Structure 1
Amino acid sequence: MQKREMWGSRTGFVMAAVGSAIGLGNIWRFPYMVYDNGGGAFLIPYFAAMLIAGIPFMILEFGLGKKFIGSAPKVFSSISRKWEWLGWWQVMVSFIITTYYAVVVAWALNYFVLAFFQGWGTAPKDFFFTKFLAATDSPLHWGSVRPEILIATAAAWFLTIFAVFTGVKSGIERTNKIFMPLLFLLVFVFIGRGLMLPGAVDGLNWLFTPDFSAIKEGKVWADAFGQIFYSLSIGFAIMLSYASYLPEESDISNNACMTVFINCGFSIISGIMIFSVLGYMAQQQGVPISKIATSGVGLAFITLPTAINLMPAPIFFGTLFFLALSVAGLSSMISLNEVVVAALMEKMNISRKKAAVIFCSVGFLISIVFTTGGGLLLLDIVDHFINNFGVLIGGVIEIIFVAWFCRVDDLRAYINSSSEIKIGGLWSLSIRFVAPAMLCFMLVSNFVGDVSKNYGGYSGTATLAFGWSTLFVCIAFAAFCSRHNHAFALIENTNRNFLKRS
């Protein structure tokens, strides 16, 4: 076995963990989530979810990764070989996300270049769907590959795989030490100028004015827990892998709290950035913000370019925003890459460089499908099912398995042995009851919704072919990999008594 790499510093680890947590969703999902769920009042369930679920789950994953020193399959195999499949489920989920996430990053990279000359023109919506994507009317009709998107996708894969290829300390840590300060700098510069625009304060009022009646609704609380869960990159092997490179004396609880607080702080900062611009846009067009507020792809590639066209110094704002979007996407993609590469290294007992080349080659080939005219619709279906079911199923099973079938008090003692912030009974209560209950509620709600009605109005054929089948691929992959032990079978394990039945 090769000597295991370690983070070069605590700052490097936190930067990498924050880089994984901070992604496109912080910028294009969180602001609209606040706006649509009671404004400032949404921050009450949001911070509650952060404290009683986000931080406890993050501490759990940091603790597992550091204690069992391995990728997700190795962690669960170390507890019981019968549970190795769960790690491979999470690895496959991360792999699938990477294949289409790379294309979204490619869109951002393309728009960064376009921003230098406002290449999206005076009608950003028509440009995005017709000229840029050449979008088809069905996910079953792919059309042709878009050359500029394909080239940018290759660039996204190259940039992220290079960080993973060169190692934990030399690649991932060094890259995130550049990316994270750069990202915050870009956003703060954007905010500093954006807040001086007329109408910006009106936008912030729309965002933060509280509607306290909203917090009585169960949906608002579910959205708050969902935002925390998805935003923190927990439940799909990233934090397990990253924590496995921590030195023995590392402070688990403190690192987890720092990661969560920085991520959530960035989400709020992103809300200020986005809604200050929307406030200006609404004033310029003479319409209420409710008419233009949106989230996701539409916000990033249609609404914001429209707003940028109306701004003074549009090239400045455009390049700043899309560079920030690109950096946020690349930092998250690096972490997704590491999940798969780490698992391949340990399972096949091969070098990091070889594992990176294998993964990059296969991943890039699959990504090509999402660069076609039907790529946006394919991406929409796959993303919906892999996030609403793939990620959630892995997270639910992981937390229930560890909290109820393992000696969680032993894990708590292990975490406390090297942590300044000591966790107690409230932490155990959260991972045993609160977090599993909310995740199960979300999973059941998603399942009922998608069984009763096809997602997004797509045909049953499309949702079966690209949605439900994606989950079956995860199951098959997890079952296949867990039946072939290879290198894992050679690992001396002294932690079998972590299971309660031992």
Structure 2
Amino acid sequence: MSAPNEESTGAPREQFSGQTGFILSAIGSAVGLGNIWRFPGVAYENGGGAFLIPYLVALVTAGIPILFLDYAIGHRFRGSAPTALRRLGGRWGRWTESLGWFQVSISFVIALYYTAIIGWALSYFVFSFDLRWGDDPAGFLLSDYLEASNEVALTSDIVASVAVPLALVWIAAIVVLTLGVSRGLERVNIIVMPLLAVTFGAVVVRALFLDGAAEGLNAFFTPDWGALSDPNVWIAAYGQIFFSLSIAFGIMITYASYRRRRSNLTGPGLVVALANSSFELLAGVGVFATLGFFAFQQRIPVAELETISGIGLSFITFPAILSQMPGGAAVGALFFGTLTLAGFTSLLSILQVTSAAVQEKFGLTPRSGAMAIGTVSALLSFALFSTTSGLYALDTADHWTNNIGVVASAVVMSVLTVWVLRRGPELLHHLNAVSTVKLGRVWLALVGVVVPAVLGYMLVRGIVTVATEGYEGYPTGFLLVMGWGTLIAMGVIAAVATALPWRRNGHDVQPWPPYPTVAATEEN
């Protein structure tokens, strides 16, 4: 009996128009804000040039294998994370579906605060033209722009300067999502990704010709070989690779499900991973060349600069540099324009995870699904992250979501697939049947052994650290609400969504048969 297709259970599934659109969209998801402000600081603090060794090892042994796992699950079982994982689970499908909804809830939470950061970048794009932050970028960010409260506690006071750009970002994102995969997501990425490469390339080139740029690059690339004996450096490398590739929280499962039946998976996956890592290295060059100029102006070593990563780097240190840089207004517009574009393409992929899952569970069209998810998300985003406590709420939710939620999702998914359900060989065969770059059983070992071991250690260490030491000195009550409360909310969303009935039989569609069958392959 042949497997039913999508047309027999509802409307035909959307698809990317071709391989180029998929690759650019996947790169657009992977290349985000963290590539620009996280990687340079992580590399510098963990051995400089020597960090590239554990970074590449982590890419090969964890990043790419989990990326391929996401691709295999999404493409073979043709659905969003809950749908695909339910089909993967077979008779245990209801339990595996809950993991899919947990991944959806992760994306849902990330979208709420990620949109706020894009709104900040959009505001600073406008501020760049007159260098509005003046001589005190820190005071401008915290007091004038964010109007951050002195006390770390949730407030309901809306900050207009944050709410307006936040509204613009949400409107743009909802409009793109309502257009669907090929007419919305794909077209935006085809336009934005080349533009992103050009604008950020211009920023890097300008940075390389600044006074002190060479000293900044020396600080970044000079290897500290002794760091390689520190286990924390290796953990940092795995964490950076893992967080930067948009894996294990539904994005790549969803994107792969929109590919045609006989679509190359491993080749494009390697392109996406290489492009993401190349952009991170380019970001490191640009950031540290600029920091070298800043240190030169202050007559201090680069090592004595206070902020070299994160929000402080982008919205405090860089504005201070731009105020001293020849042509700072133009460079600032390019830099914050780059942040906005990089963040927006990643945001679209995050929102598509939630929208696709809701569409399939409740039988909605792409337009109605995008409108429903977009409206609810926008309201919550405004309530939590456009207030005077938005900075603290964002910082806390991000830490718990990424360091505990996403890591836990990856560990459970790899163990579940390889050891509990024993679907690893089937997924390996599927990848090899449709792809140009063939994988061996070492891929199963990496997914089933290396990833759970390394990420399991990261997960335990992350939980113990925040449970015993807290986070950033924030009050315990605040951490219970915005940290642990965020994780609890994810679990509740996953449980409720799993318990709700399906509005159509899309979750019962069988996977594509192997091409050719395993038996036929073995005979040949």
Please state which band the TM-score falls in when normalised by the shorter chain: over 0.9
1:182 maps to 2:192: no
The letter for the 1-side match of 2:390 is G
Cα distance 1:488–1:264, how it changes in 2: closer, same or farther (>3 A)?
Answer: farther
Between the aligned partners of 2:320 and 2:432, the Cα distance in structure 1 is 51
1:417 aligns to what SS in structure 2?
A: helix
Between the aligned partners of 1:7 and 1:296, the Cα distance in structure 2 is 33
What's the counterpart of residue 205 of structure 1? 218
CA RMSD of aligned residues (A): 1.4
What's the counterpart of residue 299 of structure 1? 313
CA distances 1:403-430 after superposition (whole Å, capped 9, x unpaired): 2123211111111011111000211110
What's the counterpart of residue 71 of structure 2? 62
Alignment match of 2:425 (pick from 402, 409, 417) = 409
The letter for the 1-side match of 2:459 is L
Alignment match of 2:408 (pick from 389, 393, 397) = 393
Between the aligned partners of 2:323 and 2:163, the Cα distance in structure 1 is 26
Between the aligned partners of 2:132 and 2:255, the Cα distance in structure 1 is 39
Alignment match of 1:274 (pick from 261, 271, 287) = 287
1:457 aligns to what SS in structure 2?
A: coil
What's the counterpart of residue 483 of structure 2? 467
Cα distance 1:487–1:78, how it changes in 2: closer, same or farther (>3 A)?
Answer: farther
CA distances 1:89-134 after superposition (whole Å, capped 9, x unpaired): 0001100110011000000000000001101111111101110111
Residue identity over aligned pairs, in percent, reads 38
Alignment match of 1:16 (pick from 25, 31, 38) = 25
What's the counterpart of residue 3 of structure 2? none
Alignment map for 1:147-158 (pairs within 5 Å): 147-158=160-171
Between the aligned partners of 2:232 and 2:427, the Cα distance in structure 1 is 33
What's the counterpart of residue 370 of structure 1? 385
Between the aligned partners of 1:256 and 1:111, the Cα distance in structure 2 is 34
Cα distance 1:46–1:490, how it changes in 2: closer, same or farther (>3 A)?
Answer: closer
CA contact 1:139–1:375 (8 Å) conserved in 2:
no
The letter for the 2-side match of 1:396 is V
The letter for the 2-side match of 1:299 is L
Between the aligned partners of 1:231 and 1:7, the Cα distance in structure 2 is 23
Alignment match of 1:253 (pick from 266, 281, 294) = 266
The letter for the 2-side match of 1:455 is Y
CA contact 2:62–2:450 (8 Å) conserved in 1:
yes
CA contact 1:112–1:318 (8 Å) conserved in 2:
yes
What's the counterpart of residue 379 of structure 1? 394
What's the counterpart of residue 39 of structure 1? 48
1:98 aligns to what SS in structure 2?
A: helix
Between the aligned partners of 2:17 and 2:513, the Cα distance in structure 1 is 32
Offset, 1:459? 1.3
The letter for the 2-side match of 1:383 is D
Alignment match of 1:476 (pick from 482, 487, 492) = 492
CA contact 2:254–2:356 (8 Å) conserved in 1:
yes
The letter for the 1-side match of 2:36 is I
Q: Which runs of 5+ in 1 are unaligned?
A: none
The letter for the 1-side match of 2:282 is I
Q: TM-score, normalised by structure 2?
A: 0.93
1:40 aligns to what SS in structure 2?
A: helix
What's the counterpart of residue 4 of structure 2? none
Alignment match of 2:329 (pick from 315, 338, 342) = 315
Alignment map for 1:106-185 (pairs within 5 Å): 106-142=119-155, 144-185=157-198
What's the counterpart of residue 96 of structure 1? 109
2:151 aligns to what SS in structure 1?
A: coil
Give structure 1 regions of 4+ aligned residues with deviation exceeding 4 angstroms. Answer: 495-498
CA contact 2:76–2:511 (8 Å) conserved in 1:
no
Offset, 1:137? 2.2
Cα distance 1:39–1:407, how it changes in 2: closer, same or farther (>3 A)?
Answer: same
